[in-house]
């Protein structure tokens, strides 16, 4: 499985290392090369310094046609942009973006991006720990809608097929993804 | 008209001021408290000192009844998200984004932003039009992008001046096909003698552009 991770913070580094250990191909990007110090010395994947919201840089990093694309930088908006770029222009099959603002997370789940919302995630974890009723919000909001640009192919001259493939998968995902009780409960996080 | 401006930098500040002067209802969102206060002191209580990327504050600023949202912060990703939130979450009919990296224009358009203003692109366009540029001007990419339509403006110092096209050492994979002289385009024949001021239109593969540059432009003369 080809995995692209943008942002080598704590979470990004943990994910990169676990995917790598599980035998997957991993490409991780960060703006500073010092961030890669977080990766274990055994890491066999590719670590590249560069802006993950820049299409050219992502292409040069070999981020096209990723099976999984995870945007994990500190900025919600950078994650949103990287994720949409991956989905619309780079043919990523599954896209996850960390979006800590619950409202933005909801909005982008509606637009076809799996939104990982730390705010909801941690609030629920605390509620669960204290045996208080959990809000029912999920840590990862599954994409419920197709992307606004989903039907259009004009954006990438060279890879029209990957654009439509990416958006088809996004639409498929909205139909097949487990919902409600089947999704990761806060307790297990 | 109710306009919501996000980003209180120079652009946002003057935009808000002008809009108020022309009688529109305006709210400006600026996340830096100090900057927000400073603007409010000057132009009145139209400033909300919160991050316009945050859904909650967009709502509080009245985004759902805005006729236009103009996202003019210095960060492209913020401007994209502001416009998308406005459009898809608050049903704003018209969204305008400032785009700093011209490469982002396509993506933003594709993702539903109604209008894009790119200062970089504007200045670039202006430079390429007005200043004598001793470079090949790329007019368009053809086919899958490996071929380019190129314009070469022959100016003092060009080794091609006074030569017939057939005597030029045009690299393989390139063809010169027209010359624009005194505003009239004519097909280039092998015997056509090139003159100073001619604009030669060529199609060429990207890798032979350096050779083409040597033949038509020559040594670059630094712009004075």
pLDDT tens string for chain B (224 positions)? 999 999 999 999 999 999 999 999 999 999 999 999 999 999 999 999 999 999 899 999 999 999 999 999 999 999 999 999 999 999 999 999 999 998 899 899 999 999 999 988 888 887 776 555 567 888 888 877 788 888 888 888 888 889 998 888 888 888 888 999 988 899 988 898 999 889 999 988 878 888 888 888 886 544 44
A139: pLDDT confidence band, cut at 50, 70 and 90? Answer: low
Cβ distance A57 to A128 under 8 Å?
no
Cβ distance B50 to B82 under 8 Å?
no
What is the Cα–Cα distance from A104 to B25, expressed in whole angstroms?
Answer: 26
Subunit contact A103:B78, Cβ cutoff 8 A: no
B174 versus A90: the higher-pLDDT residue is: A90
What distances in angstroms separate CA A70 from CA A111, B52, B67, B112, B147, one per listed residue?
Answer: 16, 25, 35, 23, 34
Chain A partners within 8 Å of B89 (Cβ): 103, 107
Indicate the burial class of B214 (C-beta count within 10 angstroms; 0-12, 13-18, 19 or more): middle
Can you give the three-state secondary structure of B129-162, one letter per residue?
A: HHCCCCCCEEEEEECCCCEEEEEEECCCCCCCCC
Lowest mean pLDDT among A43-57, A153-167, B119-133: A153-167
A111: pLDDT confidence band, cut at 50, 70 and 90? Answer: confident
What is the Cα–Cα distance from B173 to B207, expressed in whole angstroms?
Answer: 9
What is the Cα–Cα distance from B36 to A90, expressed in whole angstroms?
Answer: 39
What is the Cα–Cα distance from B211 to B204, expressed in whole angstroms?
Answer: 11
Cα B146–B152–B153 angle (5° rounding)?
160
What is the Cα–Cα distance from B99 to B79, expressed in whole angstroms?
Answer: 8
> Within an 8 Å CB–CB cutoff, is residue A162 touching chain B?
no
What is the Cα–Cα distance from A13 to A5, expressed in whole angstroms?
Answer: 9
Coil, helix or strand for A126? helix
What pLDDT does A146 receive? 65
What pLDDT does A18 receive? 97
Cβ distance B82 to B88 under 8 Å?
no
Task: Point out which residues pair with B68 in neighbouring strands.
Answer: B3, B94
The H or E element that residue A69 is part of is strand A68-71
**Structure confidence by residue, pLDDT tens digits, A77-88:** 999 999 999 999
A91: pLDDT confidence band, cut at 50, 70 and 90? Answer: very high
**Structure confidence by residue, pLDDT tens digits, A30-42:** 999 999 999 999 9
Cα A53–A59–A60 angle (5° rounding)?
105
Cβ distance B58 to B82 under 8 Å?
yes
What is the Cα–Cα distance from A72 to B76, expressed in whole angstroms?
Answer: 18
What pLDDT does B219 receive? 64
> Within an 8 Å CB–CB cutoff, is residue A155 touching chain B?
yes
Min Cα distance A23 → chain B (Å) is 33
User: What would the mean pLDDT of A143-155 be, rounded to a whole number?
Assistant: 53
Q: Is the pLDDT of residue A179 over 50?
A: no
A156: pLDDT confidence band, cut at 50, 70 and 90? Answer: very low
Tokens (6 digits) for A134: 């959990």
Min Cα distance B176 → chain A (Å) is 25
Mean pLDDT of all residues belonging to chain A = 80
Residue B98 makes CB contacts below 8 A (sequence gap 6+) with: B7, B11, B70, B71, B72, B73, B79, B116, B117, B118, B119
Tokens (6 digits) for A152: 């259009």
Lowest mean pLDDT among A6-20, A58-72, B119-133, B203-217: B119-133
H helices within B45-135, ranges in order?
Answer: 55-60, 76-84, 105-110, 119-130
What is the Cα–Cα distance from B176 to B202, expressed in whole angstroms?
Answer: 4
A residues 53..112 contacting B (CB < 8 A)? 53-56, 75-78, 80-81, 84-85, 88-89, 101-104, 106-108, 110-111
Torsion sign, CA atoms B193, B197, B202, B204: positive
Task: Point out which residues pair with A6 in neighbouring strands.
Answer: A29, A71
Nearest residue in chain A measured CA to CA from B57 = A103
Residue A22 makes CB contacts below 8 A (sequence gap 6+) with: none
Cβ distance B60 to B50 under 8 Å?
yes
What pLDDT does B57 receive? 94
Min Cα distance B152 → chain A (Å) is 26
Rg of chain A on CA atoms, in Å: 16
pTM, 2 dp: 0.66
A185 versus B140: the higher-pLDDT residue is: B140
A183: pLDDT confidence band, cut at 50, 70 and 90? Answer: very low
Coil, helix or strand for B90? coil
What is the Cα–Cα distance from B107 to A71, expressed in whole angstroms?
Answer: 17
What pLDDT does A20 receive? 97
Q: What percent of chain A stands above pLDDT 90?
A: 57
Lowest mean pLDDT among A45-59, A151-165, B23-37: A151-165
């Amino acid at each position: 499985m080809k995995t692209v991770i943008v942002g080598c913070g704590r979470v990004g580094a943990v994910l990169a290392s676990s995917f790598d250990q599980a035998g997957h191909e991993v490409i991780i990007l960060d703006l500073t090369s010092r961030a890669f110090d977080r990766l274990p010395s055994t890491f066999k994947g590719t670590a590249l310094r560069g802006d993950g919201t820049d299409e050219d840089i992502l292409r040069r990093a070999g981020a096209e046609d990723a099976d999984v694309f995870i945007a994990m930088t500190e900025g919600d908006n950078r994650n949103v942009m990287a994720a949409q770029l991956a989905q619309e222009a780079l043919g990523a099959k599954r896209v996850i973006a960390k979006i800590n603002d619950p409202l933005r997370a909801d909005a982008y789940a509606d637009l076809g991006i799996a939104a990982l919302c730390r705010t909801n995630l941690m609030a629920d974890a605390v509620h669960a720990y204290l045996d208080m009723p959990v809000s029912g919000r999920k840590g990862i909001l599954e994409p419920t809608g197709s992307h606004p640009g989903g039907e259009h192919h004009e954006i990438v001259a060279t890879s029209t097929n990957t654009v439509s493939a990416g958006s088809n998968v996004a639409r498929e995902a909205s139909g097949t993804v487990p919902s409600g009780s089947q999704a990761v409960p806060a307790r297990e996080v | 008209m109710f306009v919501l401006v996000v980003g209180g930098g120079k652009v946002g500040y003057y935009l808000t001021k002008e809009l108020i002067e022309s009688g529109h209802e305006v709210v400006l969102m600026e996340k830096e408290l100090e900057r927000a206060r400073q603007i409010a002191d000057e132009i009145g209580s139209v400033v909300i000192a919160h991050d316009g990327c945050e859904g909650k504050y967009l709502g509080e600023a009245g985004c759902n009844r805005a006729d236009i949202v103009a996202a003019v912060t210095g960060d492209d990703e913020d401007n994209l998200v502001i416009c998308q939130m406005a459009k898809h979450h608050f049903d704003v009919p018209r969204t305008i984004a400032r785009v700093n990296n011209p490469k982002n224009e396509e993506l933003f358009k594709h993702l539903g932003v109604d209008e894009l203003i790119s200062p970089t692109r504007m200045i670039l366009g202006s430079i390429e039009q007005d200043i004598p540029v001793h470079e090949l001007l790329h007019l368009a990419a053809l086919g899958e992008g490996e071929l380019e339509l190129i314009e070469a403006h022959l100016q003092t110092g060009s080794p091609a001046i006074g030569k017939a096209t057939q005597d030029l050492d045009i690299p393989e994979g390139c063809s010169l096909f027209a010359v624009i002289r005194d505003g009239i385009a004519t097909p280039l024949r092998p015997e056509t003698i090139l003159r100073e001021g001619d604009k030669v239109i060529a199609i060429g593969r990207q890798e032979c552009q350096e050779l083409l540059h040597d033949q038509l432009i020559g040594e670059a003369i630094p712009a004075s």
